[in-house]
A and B are shown apart, each in its own frame.
Chain A
Amino acid sequence: MGDEKVLKAAVLRYLEAKEKSEPGWKLILGRESLTAAQLRERLNKDKKLWKDIRQWADALAVDMFNEGSKKIESNSGTP
């Protein structure tokens, strides 16, 4: 799916930037500890991990739109 490729490329680009700006950055995932470079590598191989990140990125996007809607609705009564 085209959209998924775009999202994955954005995530990998983000992790590349993170690796450069904060070399000590890590994702702690249960017992695993992954640097930005290790996470990028994993995302290219581990479909389950990618599916997980994609799912929660989608959920976050929905939350942001819902939050935006609430703000619009709460402001709509004011002149």
Chain B
Amino acid sequence: MKAILVRPNFDDATGYTFAFAEEILDWCRQAKIDVVELAEGEAVKSRVEEELRKGADLFIFYDHGSEDALIGQDEQPVIDLTNCHWLKEKDVYTLACLSAKELGAEIWRQKGRYWGYTEVVGFTTDALDEFKKSFNCGFAYLFIERVPHGTALDKARETFDQLATALVSEGKIMAAIYMRKNRESLVDYNAHGPEESSSGGCLLGLLKLPFQYLSARIRRR
């Protein structure tokens, strides 16, 4: 398996998530996953596309995102709706805020698999080990233990729950609140489709789908 790990580092948040991604890098090396790291100055669109052109099975991205993009070191998208065809039929693992909403859904429509978050991700500095564990556990379930997607998502949500309970007992209440919130916005678009996850069965969500699809198609042109 070949992986590309992209990790910018340009502000407070990416300073922490850059460090969280170190564990993913170690696991890749231990599991003999052939990993190309694009860190800091290399975490930009041109380098990402260059590496994707060479081929990869798995794309890992830590950290900032928006609903339709993953943001690189230059604060510009490295992947958005205009170039996400590079991730067609690939596995994507990210903790980027919001990106599962549109970008993840579009990659899933292109037969990719997307592990990410539909809302803004939060964490506190009194529980960095616990948050690292929560953000990284899905990777271990999917690519080290090789459990199926649905099982990996269930196990990850259970991990978030256990961590939240432990944080409450340690008096780290704000950390527990954001652990709980992150758990709720975690999605795995292969275990479930985005329609099931984001609309929650709501008719309004289903009605929005053709428009989301059309707008994505128009933006790609």
Chain A positions within 8 Å of B, measured between CB atoms, are 14-15, 18, 22, 24-31, 33, 39, 52-53, 56-57, 59-60, 63-64, 67
Contacts and interface: CB of A to CB of B under 8 A. Distances in A.
Nearest to B64: A31
A27 B178 contact: yes
Interface in B175-217: 176-178, 180-181, 184
A79 B41 CA distance: 64
Nearest to B66: A30
A67 B123 CA distance: 23
Contacts of B124: 25-28
A22 B122 contact: no
Most A-side CB within 10 Å, residue of B120, B125, B164: B125
Interface of B: 11-13, 16, 64, 97-98, 120-126, 161, 164-165, 168, 173-174, 176-178, 180-181, 184
In terms of DSSP, what is the predominant structure of the interface of chain A?
helix
A67 B47 CA distance: 47
Contacts of B177: 53, 56-57, 60
A28 B174 contact: no
A29 B11 contact: no
Contacts of B164: 60, 63
A39 to B, nearest CB: 8
